[in-house]
Amino acid sequence: MEPSLKESTRILLAWSMHFLHELRKAIASLSRGVNQSTEPGSSWQLPIQGYVKINVDCAIFVNDTCSGLAVIIRDDKCSLIAALTKRIPGVVAPEIAEAYAAKAATSLATQMGLQQVAF
C-alpha cells in the first residue's frame, strides 16, 4: 500500500530537515576551523585562488528504501557558494549513488556557469 500524499509529504519534509540539519552542522564546524587543510589528518583542501571546490557525498537509507546525495560548492576562501541535496528512490549501490552525486554536481556547476572547478 502506497503512503498517502500527506504521509509522503511528511516523510519528504523529515528527510529534508535531516539533511538541512547535517548541512548546518558541517557549515558550523567549518566556520570553527574543523576540517580545514591546516589540521593534521584532514583530507579537504582549499582550491587554488580563483577556483571553487566541489565535494559530493551520498548515503544509503535501507530502511527507507532510498538513497540520497549532497553537493557542496565552496570558494577559495571556504565560503559556501551553493549546496544541493537530492533523494534517489530505491536503494542503489554506493558506486551508483556516487555517480548520481557527481552528475548532480556537474549539472549544478554548469547551471551556475562555473568553469574554474576542482573536485
Q: Is the pLDDT of residue 13 over 50?
A: yes
Residue that wins the pLDDT comparison between 15 and 31: 15
Which class would CATH give 5-118? alpha beta
Structure pTM?
A: 0.63
Distance CA 73, CA 111 (A): 13
Q: CA 112, 95, 67: angle at the middle one, nearest 5?
A: 75
Residue that wins the pLDDT comparison between 25 and 99: 99
User: pLDDT tens for residues 22-74?
Assistant: 666 665 655 554 444 444 455 678 899 999 999 999 988 888 898 999 999 99
Question: C-alpha grid cell for residue 102?
Answer: 557527481
pLDDT confidence of residue 40: 47
